[in-house]
A and B are shown apart, each in its own frame.
Chain A
Amino acid sequence: EVQILESGGGLVQPGGSLRLSCAASGFTFMDYAMTWVRQAPGKGLELVSLISSTGGTTFYADSVKGRFTISRDNSKNTLYLQMNSLRADDTAVYYCAKGQRTAVTNNWFDPWGQGTLVTVSS
């Protein structure tokens, strides 16, 4: 059974940093692109970042470019999101999800983890 489990969320002050982790199991992690998608309270879905199966290609939403860094450790079946210079509008549930291809293009996402809440507030 495929399982995806996010961790690392919490309360952080504006300008602070946080690192999210996503542990995956039940599939060959190194064969699939992975993504982070966030959902602000009461709002819709926003793709934050995407990484190819090897980690060689990444994509970022304009809203996080230069502040967030996606990475993966295929030896540990784990995806990461390093979030720096956090702002109040980064407050959201952050979901990790599995792509359907090795490349960053032409992916839909399934399954998703349960999400981890990041709150940016003083």
Chain B
Amino acid sequence: DIQMTQSPSTLSASVGDRVTITCRASQSISNWLAWYQQKPGKAPKVLIYKASSLESGVPSRFSGSGSGTEFTLTISGLQPDDFATYYCQQYNSYAYAFGQGTKLEIK
């Protein structure tokens, strides 16, 4: 099975900062990667699919990049609403896998 490793597990940042979250796959997944945002007590919401495609309605400060085994989610100009937990998900194979999550906290 493909394993997904996210880093860091926790990230402290301030409003206005630019932050990057990394997701690594244990083998190549081409660009079959999605990023989700989850707030406490709420369901996840997709931000990015196919590694770099922005979901409709998602602010343009969110961007994704990468292919193969290494991927990044970048948030440019953090807003108060962005403090949440972020998950990557590979969908290259039947054995879909999520990363363990990155909690973005206010510094």
A108's partner among B34, B94, B101 (CB-CB below 8 A) is B34
Say whether A44 contacts B46, CB under 8 Å.
no
Q: Which of B46, B93, B101: most chain A Cβ within 10 A?
A: B46
Given known A-B contacts A45-B98, A47-B98, A106-B32, A114 and B91 have beta carbons under 8 A apart: no
Q: Which residues of B contact A100 (CB under 8 A)?
A: 49
How far is A42 from B17 in the complex, measured between Cα atoms in Å? 27
Give how many A residues have a beta carbon under 8 Å from the other chain's beta carbons: 21
Main secondary structure of the interface of B (DSSP, over half): loop
- List residues of A (89-122) whose CB comes within 8 Å of B's CBs: 95, 97, 100, 104-115
Interface residues of A (CB under 8 A from B): 44-47, 50, 59, 95, 97, 100, 104-115
Q: Is the CB of A108 within 8 A of B49?
A: yes
Q: Which 3 A-B pairs have the closest CB atoms?
A: A112-B43, A108-B34, A110-B46
Distance between B97 CB and nearest chain A CB, rounded to angstroms: 8
Q: B91–A107 contact, CB under 8 A?
A: yes
Compute how far the CA of A46 lies from the CA of B45 in the bound complex, rounded to whole angstroms.
15
Assembly CA distance A95 to B89 (angstroms): 15
Roughly how many angstroms separate A37 CA and B97 CA in the complex, as a whole number?
11
Please state if B98 and A114 are interface contacts (CB–CB under 8 Å). no
